Amino acid sequence: MDEREFLIAELLRFKKEHNRIPGQKDLCASNGYPSFHRYYKVFGSLHIIKETFYTQEYKNKKKTEKRDYLISEIQRYYKENGRVPTQSDFNPNNGYPSYRTVSDCFESWNEALVLSGYETNRNYNRDKEYLINELLRFEEEFGRIPTQRDMGAKNGYPDDSKYYKVFGSFLNALKVASFKNKVKYWDWSPYLTEEFLIKELLRFERENGRLPLPEDMTNQNGYPSSNAYIKFFSSWLNALKEAPFKNRIDEYFFSFENMNLKKWYIVGYFIGDGSIRGNCTSVSTNKKDKDNLIDMYNHMNIQTKISIHKYEQGWHDRYDINVCSTQWKSDLAKYGVVPNKTGHEYIPLDYLKTPEEEAAICRGIFDADGMISYKKTDKYKPKFNVVSAGKQLCENYAYLLKENCDLDINVGRHSGIFHITTSGFERCQKIYDFLYGHDNFHIKRKKERFEKLLNGTFSLENDNY
């Protein structure tokens, strides 16, 4: 049995023993199962759980349950309001599911009403002439041909599901309409060449201010399908590489074979202050440490699709870097930077080959989640501290300090947060020499306080921490 088969067998064992599907928190050695990190390492994500358990039978059961729930919500609206709901009535702000949720679950909004036991609303029985006139009205008002996303009651137009019901598809309706704008963007076949497809990628970037994702490129959105790019360029990524974007991503920036000390620092910083949402990786900092964020940004390549964004958080200004890349997400997952990582952080010891690499990632974590403070009652004796919601990260950090500084530091816990703490000139000097023994990024205020505390020049008056 290879490792893939073993890990799947362990998922099935959990289901048999607990009569439920395992979640990420269930997969750990303390529970008697392989760590979820092993699943990330072998499969690249935890999607194997869905592939193992979410069969078609399960999906059909869930869909039936969802339809029953939506029907009960329509009936609840009728009881509470004394009338049949319209699409605009179904809005989370009104305490009901979105009308889009209903339309996605049924063939149409009217089908949901009929199955709920009510007559359909005449205002939504659209014939061909009316629907075509609505498309032409959109063109008249906005000067362009509508896309599928433009349709819907919230925008004052029929829902796109009506077009599917009457014409078979939204594109068929567009072909019937006699638009003044003669650009037939829904019929790409005569134009499909590599040159044309590249121009469409650049048009997306120009119109949206970012690089496209595969799901952006659809006929309904007014662009060639992403499948066309795979056909012409063998893969979506190859197509992106061919396009001369103004905003370019170094997709393999975090690939293991390309790692260096500065990249390990960035990984450490991401472990502490980074987050993954969807395919986007982001990291933020405050105004004091903005310069360090900009240094990292420049190292990532100033031509990449990275933005430094300033926003207000209470009375503080925050700055963040945001990068959308499936390759970044995949590579960072190998190093422990995964979605919902809080409480599960760790240092990827298996990937660190030299003491300098260990120091680089530790410096990044220290700058993100560490502090150098002092004891006022003992002539400003320095005190080193790193905190984390994940116990394993603190244990890994303490292990590296033992290996490189010959320091024994226990992992403590306070108010649900784990920490490693040590103090004293000699011990903190060893840590300083380890962290700052090579050239790399650093937060200026932390390094300066560290040095002043160690050389005896620290005072409250000259402290810029």
Is pLDDT of 279 > 60? yes
Please compute the mean of the pLDDT values over residues 181-203 and round it to a whole number: 66
Residue 173: its pLDDT value, please? 79
Highest mean pLDDT: which of 99-103, 154-158, 208-212, 264-268?
Answer: 264-268
Report pLDDT digits (tens) over 406-417. Answer: 999 999 998 889
Residue 406: its pLDDT value, please? 94
Residue 54: its pLDDT value, please? 62
Residues in the chain: 465
Report pLDDT digits (tens) over 381-405. Answer: 899 999 999 999 999 999 999 999 9
Please compute the mean of the pLDDT values over residues 313-337 and round it to a whole number: 77
Residue 120: its pLDDT value, please? 65
Residue 271's pLDDT band, with cuts at 50, 70 and 90, is very high
